[in-house]
C-alpha cells in the first residue's frame, strides 16, 4: 500500500489514516485503532525491519509498550531497555540511538521521541539494517516526528474526551440513582460499584465519620479522629482533596471528602497501585463522584433523621397518651418497659420510686433488679442522680465510674423530677459497650420527661386508693376491703383459709405502758403479719386489737402453719412482749353450706374464743 502512496505526500496519507479511524471508531478505542494502523504504515514508509510504539502512562509516569510490529522476543527486549528518565533529559529530546540497545549485529535501533508542546507523549523505536537511517535524506524524520506528535496528541485528546463523555454519562446516571434513593447504604454501594467499573484495578475504602450498619459488606472503615492517617483527617476537616504517595509500596492514594451542603460525612480513599500521581482529569472525576455521593448521603441522612424524628414523636405521643389513661403503677411500668425494649433494644429496664427516703423497685421492672448483682448499679445511679439531678449516659461501665465489674456495659439513667423533687429514677442497661447511641439517650430523656407526671399520678392514685382500703395505723387492709375480696374469691376459687387474731391482754398493755406503746405493739404485730404472708394473701385490721388474714388457695395445713408461726414470732419478737391467740377456719368449694363469709367468720371467731378460754397464746382450728 505504501509503495503506491509514496508518490503522494506521506503526511497526507498519515492524516487520512487518522480521519478514517476517527470515522469508523466512535468510542474510546479510537487511539488503539489509530496506533495499529500508524505502526503498520510507518513500518512500510521507513522501510525498517522492526518497529515498536511506546506511550507515556500519566499515572505511573513511565513508558509502556502499546504496539510492536515484531516478534515476542523483540517486544520483551524493547520493554526492558526503554528508559523514560533518559528520554526526559534534554539531550534525548531529538532523534536518538543512545536510549536503545542494539539487539543484533545487523539491526540498528533508532528512537523517535514524540512531544507536543514540551509534553512527552510516547516513543517510536525502529530497527533497521540502515545504520545511517537518522541521516537518511529520503524522509525528513524531524518533520515526521512533528506530524506524528500532533496526530497522536489529537488522538489521545479524542480518546480522553470519549472516556470523559462515558464517565459523565455514568455520573449523570448514578446522580439520578442517588437522588432517587433515600438509603445511605445504597448510596455507598453505588459509589463503590462506580469506582470498580471505572478503575477496576484500584482499591477503595469508605472512611465514615459515623457508625454504619454494613449489611452489604462494603469496604467501610471508621474515620479515626485520633488516628495516624493525617491525610484522611485533613480531607475531612478541610473539605478538600488530599494526596499521599508512597515510594516504598509504589502507590498513590487520594482522599476525597464526601461533602454535602451542611458538612462532610466521610472520606473516600482511592489507592492506585504502582501509580506516581493522579492525573488532573481523574482527580476531577473522583471529586465530582465524592461530592455527588456526599450530597446524596446528606439527603439520605436528613430523610432518615426526619423518619426517626416522626417515629420518636409518635412514640412520645403514644406513650404519653397511654400513661395518662387510668393505668395502675405496675401496668404503667410494664408498658414503659415494653416500649423501651422495643425502641432501644435494652436488656434490662428498672423503675424506682423514692418515698420517705426509701428506694423501692416498682413491679413490672426487669427481674434483674431484684438480684444481688444489681445493687452496685442502683447505688451508683441513685447517688449520682441525687447529687447532680442530671441524666447519666455511660458507654462502657468498665471505666472507673462504677468501680465494680458487672454483666452490663452500656447504661442510661434518668431522674423522674416533679415540682423540683426527684420522685424516682429509671435505669436502662445493655450487655454490649456503646450499644445506646446519643440519639437514643436524648429520646429516652424526652420520654422520661413526658412520662414523669404520669408516674407521679399513678403513685398518688394508688396511694389514695390504699388510704381508702387500708388502716392508717398498721398499714393492713380495712375490714370492708377484706370482705369484698373474700366475696369475690370464694365465688371463684376452690379453697381458702381464714385466720382471726386477737392480742392477748391488750388492755393491760395499754394500762401498763400507755396507749402510744399499745399502738406500737399493734404496728409490730401487723409488720410480722406482712412478713409472714404472700403477696396474694390479705392481712387486715379487723377492729381494735383484733387482726385477720385471708389465705386464698391455701389448704388448712398451710393456714395452720401460718398461724403457728405467727404465735411464736409475736411471743419472741414484740417489745414490750405480748402474745396472740388465733382462730382458724377453712372452706372448700364442695362444702356449699360452709362457704358463706358469715359462716367462715363465725367458725373462726368460735375457734378464737376457744383459744382464749384454753389459756391464750395458741392457735385453734374450727371444727
Residue 514 and residue 442 in one domain: no
Task: Please name the helix (run of DSSP H) or strand (run of DSSP E) that holds residue 249, with its range, or none.
Answer: none
Residue 264 covered by a domain: yes
Per residue in 300-336, pLDDT tens?
777 776 766 676 676 667 666 666 665 666 777 777 8
Distance CA 451, CA 332 (A): 10
Does residue 43 sit in helix, strand or coil?
Answer: helix
Q: Regarding beta strands 538-543 and 410-418, do their DSSP bridges make them parallel or antiparallel, or are they unpaired?
A: unpaired
Residue 76 covered by a domain: yes
Residue 431 and residue 500 in one domain: no
Nearest-CA neighbor of 505 among 579, 563, 573, 569?
Answer: 579
Residue 110 covered by a domain: yes
Residue 312 covered by a domain: no
β-pair partners for 213: none
* Beta-carbon count within 10 A of 50 CB: 20
CATH number (domain holding residue 293): 3.30.450.40
- At 550 the pLDDT is 95
Residue 11 and residue 156 in one domain: yes
Nearest-CA neighbor of 499 among 358, 415, 618?
Answer: 618
- At 120 the pLDDT is 81
205 vs 192, 218, 276, 324, CA distance in Å? 8, 8, 19, 50
Residue 112 and residue 216 in one domain: no
- At 248 the pLDDT is 65
- At 578 the pLDDT is 95
Residue 336 and residue 415 in one domain: yes
For residue 493, is it left (φ>0), alpha (ψ between -120 and 50) or beta? beta
251 vs 1, 245, 352, CA distance in Å? 45, 6, 60
Residue 358 covered by a domain: yes
Domain count, the chain: 4
Task: Pick out the chain residues at pLDDT < 70.
Answer: 1-8, 25-28, 70-108, 131-138, 179-182, 211-216, 225-227, 246-249, 305, 307-309, 311-312, 314-316, 318-329, 399-405, 453-454, 459-460, 462-463, 591-595, 623
- At 440 the pLDDT is 84
Distance CA 295, CA 262 (A): 9
Distance CA 324, CA 251 (A): 65
Residue 26 and residue 126 in one domain: yes
Show which of 161, 193, 225 is a domain's final residue: 161
Does residue 412 sit in helix, strand or coil?
Answer: strand
- At 7 the pLDDT is 38
For residue 434, is it left (φ>0), alpha (ψ between -120 and 50) or beta? left
Residue 156 and residue 206 in one domain: no
Close Cβ partners of 239 (under 8 Å, ≥ 6 residues apart): 257, 259, 264
Does residue 276 sit in helix, strand or coil?
Answer: coil
- At 276 the pLDDT is 76
Nearest-CA neighbor of 171 among 255, 289, 279?
Answer: 289
Task: Please give the grid coordinates belonging to residue 494.
Answer: 376452690
Residue 9 and residue 118 in one domain: yes
Terminal alpha carbon distance of the chain = 134
CB 259 within 8 A of CB 290: yes
Residue 167 covered by a domain: no
Q: Phi and psi for 63 in degrees, rounded to 5?
A: -80, 145
Residue 551 covered by a domain: yes
Task: Please give the grid coordinates belonging to residue 26.
Answer: 466512535
**DSSP character at residue 128:** E
Residue 155 and residue 6 in one domain: yes
Q: Phi and psi for 447 in degrees, rounded to 5?
A: -65, -45
For residue 356, is it left (φ>0), alpha (ψ between -120 and 50) or beta? left
266-293 in b/e form (b: 16+ CB < 10 A) is bbbbbbbeebbbbeeebbebbbebbbbb
Task: Please give the grid coordinates belonging to residue 584.
Answer: 382458724
Residue 295 and residue 186 in one domain: yes
Domain that holds residue 559: 479-621
Q: Regarding beta strands 203-208 and 220-222, do their DSSP bridges make them parallel or antiparallel, or are they unpaired?
A: parallel
- At 406 the pLDDT is 78
Residues in the chain: 623
Task: Please name the helix (run of DSSP H) or strand (run of DSSP E) that holds residue 618, with its range, or none.
Answer: none
- At 240 the pLDDT is 92
Residue 220 and residue 88 in one domain: no
Residue 496 and residue 524 in one domain: yes
How big is the chain by its Cα radius of gyration, in Å? Answer: 46
CATH number (domain holding residue 527): 3.30.70.270
Residue 465 covered by a domain: no
Amino acid at each position: 500500500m505504501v509503495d503506491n502512496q509514496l508518490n503522494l505526500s506521506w503526511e497526507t496519507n498519515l492524516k487520512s489514516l487518522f480521519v478514517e479511524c476517527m470515522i469508523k471508531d466512535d468510542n474510546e478505542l479510537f487511539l488503539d485503532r489509530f496506533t495499529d494502523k500508524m505502526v503498520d504504515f510507518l513500518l512500510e514508509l521507513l522501510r525498517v525491519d522492526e518497529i515498536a510504539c511506546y506511550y507515556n502512562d500519566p499515572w505511573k509516569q513511565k513508558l509502556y509498550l502499546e504496539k510492536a510490529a515484531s516478534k515476542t522476543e523483540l517486544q520483551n527486549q524493547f520493554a526492558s531497555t526503554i528508559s523514560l528518565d533518559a528520554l526526559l533529559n534534554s539531550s534525548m529530546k531529538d532523534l536518538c540511538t543512545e536510549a536503545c540497545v542494539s539487539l543484533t549485529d545487523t539491526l540498528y535501533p533508532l528512537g523517535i521521541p514524540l512531544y507536543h508542546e514540551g509534553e512527552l507523549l510516547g516513543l517510536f523505536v525502529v530497527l533497521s539494517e540502515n545504520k545511517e537511517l537518522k541521516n537518511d535524506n529520503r524522509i525528513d524524520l524531524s518533520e515526521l516526528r512533528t506530524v506524528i506528535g500532533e496526530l497522536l496528541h489529537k488522538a489521545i485528546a479524542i480518546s480522553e474526551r470519549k472516556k470523559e463523555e462515558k464517565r459523565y454519562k455514568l455520573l449523570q446516571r448514578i446522580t439520578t440513582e442517588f437522588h432517587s434513593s433515600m438509603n445511605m447504604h445504597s448510596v455507598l454501594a453505588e459509589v463503590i460499584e462506580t469506582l470498580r467499573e471505572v478503575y477496576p484495578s484500584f482499591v477503595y475504602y469508605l472512611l465514615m465519620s459515623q457508625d454504619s450498619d454494613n449489611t452489604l459488606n462494603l469496604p467501610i472503615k471508621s474515620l479515626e479522629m485520633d488516628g495516624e492517617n493525617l491525610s484522611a483527617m485533613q480531607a475531612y476537616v478541610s473539605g478538600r482533596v488530599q494526596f499521599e504517595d508512597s515510594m516504598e509500596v509504589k502507590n498513590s492514594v487520594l482522599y476525597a471528602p464526601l461533602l454535602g451542603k451542611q458538612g462532610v460525612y466521610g472520606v473516600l480513599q482511592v489507592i492506585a497501585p504502582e501509580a506516581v500521581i493522579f492525573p488532573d482529569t481523574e482527580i476531577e472525576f473522583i471529586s465530582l463522584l465524592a461530592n455527588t455521593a456526599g450530597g446524596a448521603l446528606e439527603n439520605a441522612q436528613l430523610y432518615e433523621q426526619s423518619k426517626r424524628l416522626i417515629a420518636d414523636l409518635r412514640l412520645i405521643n403514644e406513650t404519653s397518651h397511654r400513661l395518662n389513661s387510668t393505668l395502675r403503677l405496675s401496668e404503667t411500668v410494664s408498658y414503659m418497659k415494653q416500649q423501651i425494649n422495643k425502641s432501644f433494644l435494652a436488656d434490662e429496664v428498672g423503675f424506682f420510686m423514692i418515698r420517705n427516703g426509701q428506694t423501692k423497685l416498682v413491679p413490672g421492672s426487669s427481674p434483674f433488679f431484684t438480684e444481688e448483682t444489681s445493687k452496685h448499679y442502683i447505688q451508683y445511679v441513685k447517688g449520682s442522680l441525687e447529687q447532680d439531678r442530671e441524666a447519666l449516659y455511660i458507654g462502657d461501665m468498665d471505666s472507673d465510674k462504677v468501680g465494680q465489674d458487672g454483666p452490663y456495659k452500656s447504661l442510661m439513667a434518668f431522674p423522674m423530677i416533679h415540682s423540683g423533687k426527684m420522685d424516682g429514677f429509671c435505669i436502662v442497661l445493655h450487655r454490649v459497650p456503646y450499644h445506646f447511641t446519643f440519639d437514643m439517650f436524648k429520646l429516652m430523656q424526652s420520654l422520661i420527661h413526658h412520662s414523669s407526671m404520669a408516674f407521679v399520678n399513678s403513685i398518688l392514685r394508688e396511694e389514695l386508693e390504699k388510704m381508702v382500703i387500708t388502716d392508717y395505723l398498721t398499714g393492713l387492709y380495712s375490714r370492708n376491703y377484706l370482705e369484698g375480696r373474700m366475696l369475690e374469691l370464694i365465688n371463684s376459687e376452690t379453697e381458702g383459709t381464714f385466720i382471726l387474731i386477737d392480742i392477748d391482754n391488750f388492755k393491760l398493755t395499754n394500762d401498763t405502758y400507755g396507749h402510744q406503746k399499745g399502738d406500737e405493739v399493734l404496728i409490730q404485730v401487723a409488720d410480722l403479719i406482712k412478713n409472714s404472708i404472700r403477696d396474694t394473701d390479705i392481712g387486715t385490721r379487723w377492729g381494735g386489737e383484733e387482726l385477720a388474714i385471708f389465705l386464698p388457695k391455701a389448704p388448712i395445713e398451710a393456714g395452720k402453719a401460718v398461724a403457728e408461726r405467727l404465735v411464736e414470732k409475736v411471743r419472741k419478737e414484740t417489745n414490750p412482749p405480748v402474745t396472740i391467740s388465733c382462730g382458724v377456719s377453712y372452706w372448700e368449694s364442695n362444702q356449699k353450706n360452709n362457704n358463706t363469709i358469715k359462716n367462715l367468720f363465725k367458725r373462726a371467731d368460735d375457734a378464737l374464743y376457744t383459744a382464749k378460754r384454753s389459756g391464750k397464746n395458741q392457735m385453734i382450728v374450727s371444727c
